[in-house]
Amino acid sequence: MAKQLVVITGAGSGLGRALAIELCGQDLLVAGLGRRADALRETAALAGDSFTPVVADVSDAAQVRAAFDNIRTIAPVSILINNAGVYPHRDMLDETPESFMQTVAINLGGTVACTSEALKDMCEAGRGRILNVSSFADMHPLPCSAAYSVSKGAVTTFSRALVADLGDRLPKIVISTWMPGMLNTEMGLAEGLDPAVAAKWGAGLALWEDPSLNGAVFEMDREILPSRGLKGRLKDAVRLKSRKPRLIPT
């Protein structure tokens, strides 16, 4: 059986690099996108021969198309992890419309562009896995994070919109949102979680192809269940059953 090909964006550092190392270690082919060739070479040295570095700026749709054309010479895309993101710490008084929208172009536009390309292969195969890395930042924005919070919140909405468009017609293209938590990376905090630990959860979720995961949202290693209205809670009480959040297999 041919190996699955995983595309990871933002593979030059942080969580993207950790995901590439983890998935290559599980004997998958991984194509890692990033803007810096030197950083991707460092990832390749750590991940091994199963890793293919692909230099591309995900905010540029033409570069994304060219990147995926190159990747398809290896194999069709089976799994896409939209991980690339930037977190500029700028107060709104220091932002310009151009700087704000450049963050949106990377965090949201890159997700849209890469998803559009990956779906060409997935729709032809009738199956696939898309994992969009997002954040709770839209619900509780921190100071100096407006562009990041808006763009990451939009990524979560984009996941729901994808499921609305594809869920009935192509249920085996499984789309989920993952919030890995605060990590010890350039974008995170020194006291944050080791990205190698988070990568085990992300890899486990990306390889979990159950169609019931369509539209599911996970934080760190467990599912976040949608809120239930009063009527739904009463039904659960009468039936003496309630749904429990799923844990990511690792």
Catalytic residue annotation: 148
CA-CA distance, 29 to 6, in Å (whole number)? 6
Q: Which of 86, 78, 74, 95 is nearest to 207 (CA)?
A: 78
Q: How far apart are the first and last CA of the chain?
A: 22
Gap between the Cα atoms of 146 and 204, Å rounded: 31
As given in the structure block, the two tokens for residue 78 are 């089976």
Q: One-letter amino acid identity for 209?
A: E
The residue ranges of DSSP E strands in the chain, in sequence order, are 5-9, 29-34, 51-55, 79-82, 128-133, 173-179, 217-219, 222-224
Measured between alpha carbons, how far is 203 from 193 in angstroms, rounded to an integer?
Answer: 16
Q: Can you tell me whether residue 195 is helix, strand or coil?
A: helix
> Are 18 and 8 spatial neighbours (Cβ–Cβ below 8 Å)?
no
